[in-house]
């Protein structure tokens, strides 16, 4: 719409986008399995096939029910993460093509990431179990710490490109990627993606100390949806970072769509790798970091970016 270099494709391509997201989820799960197997000293190949075996197991597993569960909200929460991830990828341009050339694509992403608050907490609430409710509240405590810095991190590229359209932001990075001159915003964005995927340092909501927290009573297909939703959010977040910070489809030799995929996979691999290498950030401690360190840092970044954008125009 506002950027002629991005073309909106036919609605049926939604299926292809969902398939692509599915492949990214599988790649992330396989990588995580391989890394876990290597760390445990087992054969890496057993880790490679683990996600597939896990899918088969969960598809066949009978649903476990708890007493007085709030079934509707529980199911909504469990399936919600996957839906969120799919909604996010609709505004990410794959090279020249996009499913949904929204003028306010950045705000769209923000609206979607806030849904994690509801979905993760509802999954914790619905099971009517003390541990899963504790997990749900841990996620909300993390949310209080990460959400505002994440919002202000999204502001920086939008200000620099003077647009909220994701395609326009990608096009504005010809020559110099935003990650180079707004590294703080990029890092905070990546942190936000880890947080909405309840991943790595943000996994106390699923912690082993509360027997799996939010996911403690999830079984069968519900657990499969929830777990693949987390991987899908990681993948969607990595894909969204490409047009926002990593120059979109810019790159030598290869076509633009291949570059988008390569960059997405690279960032996704880093996210997956981080999980095993970082200890959990306890929500009470992280709250302080979010408000005292991250929020001022990202606001300063926004100020700097706004100053440069003003100077340019």
* Interface with other proteins (CB under 8 A): 36, 39-41, 67-68, 130, 134, 137-138, 201, 203-204, 207-211, 275-282, 284-285
Round to whole Å and give the CA distance between 264 and 244. Answer: 12
Q: Which residues pair with 94 in a beta bridge?
A: 97
φ, ψ dihedrals at 215, nearest 5°: -95, 10
Nearer to other proteins by Cβ, of 105 and 201: the residue is 201
Measured between its terminal Cα atoms, the distance across the chain in Å is 23
CB 252, min distance to other proteins, A: 35
Nearer to other proteins by Cβ, of 117 and 137: the residue is 137
Nearer to other proteins by Cβ, of 77 and 283: the residue is 283
Nearer to other proteins by Cβ, of 5 and 36: the residue is 36
CB 223, min distance to other proteins, A: 17
Structure tokens of 231?
Answer: 């991987």
CB 41, min distance to other proteins, A: 5
Distance of CA 23 to the CA centre of its chain: 15
Nearer to other proteins by Cβ, of 12 and 68: the residue is 68
CB 104, min distance to other proteins, A: 36
Q: Three-state DSSP class for 165?
A: coil
CB 135, min distance to other proteins, A: 10
Round to whole Å and give the CA distance between 147 and 295. Answer: 10
Helix/strand/coil percentages in the chain, nearest 5: 75, 0, 25
CB 110, min distance to other proteins, A: 27
Round to whole Å and give the CA distance between 207 and 114. Answer: 22
Nearer to other proteins by Cβ, of 80 and 126: the residue is 126
Q: Say if residues 207 and 280 touch (Cβ distance below 8 Å).
A: yes
């Amino acid at each position: 719409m506002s950027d002629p270099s991005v073309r909106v494709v036919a609605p049926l391509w939604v299926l292809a986008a969902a398939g692509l997201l599915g492949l990214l989820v599988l790649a992330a799960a396989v990588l995580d399995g391989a890394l876990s197997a290597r760390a445990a000293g087992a054969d890496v190949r057993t880790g490679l096939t683990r996600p597939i075996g896990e899918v088969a197991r969960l598809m066949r597993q009978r649903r476990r029910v708890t007493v007085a569960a709030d079934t509707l909200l529980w199911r909504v929460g469990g399936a919600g993460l996957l839906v969120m991830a799919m909604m996010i990828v609709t505004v990410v341009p794959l090279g020249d093509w996009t499913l949904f050339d929204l003028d306010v694509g950045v705000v769209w992403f923000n609206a979607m990431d806030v849904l994690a608050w509801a979905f993760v907490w509802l999954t914790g609430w619905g099971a009517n179990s003390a541990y899963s409710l504790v997990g749900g509240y841990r996620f909300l405590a993390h949310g209080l710490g990460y959400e505002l810095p994440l919002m202000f991190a999204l502001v920086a590229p939008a200000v620099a490109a003077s647009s909220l359209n994701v395609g326009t932001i990608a096009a504005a990075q010809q020559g110099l990627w935003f990650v180079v001159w707004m590294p703080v915003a990029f890092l905070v964005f990546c942190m936000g993606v880890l947080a909405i995927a309840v991943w790595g340092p943000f996994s106390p909501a699923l912690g082993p100390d509360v027997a799996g927290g939010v996911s403690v009573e999830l079984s069968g297909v519900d657990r499969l949806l929830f777990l693949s939703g987390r991987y899908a959010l990681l993948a969607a977040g990595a894909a969204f970072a490409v047009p926002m910070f990593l120059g979109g489809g810019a790159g030598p030799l290869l076509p633009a769509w291949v570059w988008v995929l390569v960059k997405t996979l690279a960032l996704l691999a880093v996210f997956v790798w981080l999980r095993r290498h970082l200890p959990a950030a306890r929500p009470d401690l992280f709250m302080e970091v979010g408000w005292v360190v991250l929020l001022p840092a990202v606001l300063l970044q926004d100020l700097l970016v706004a100053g440069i954008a003003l100077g340019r125009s």
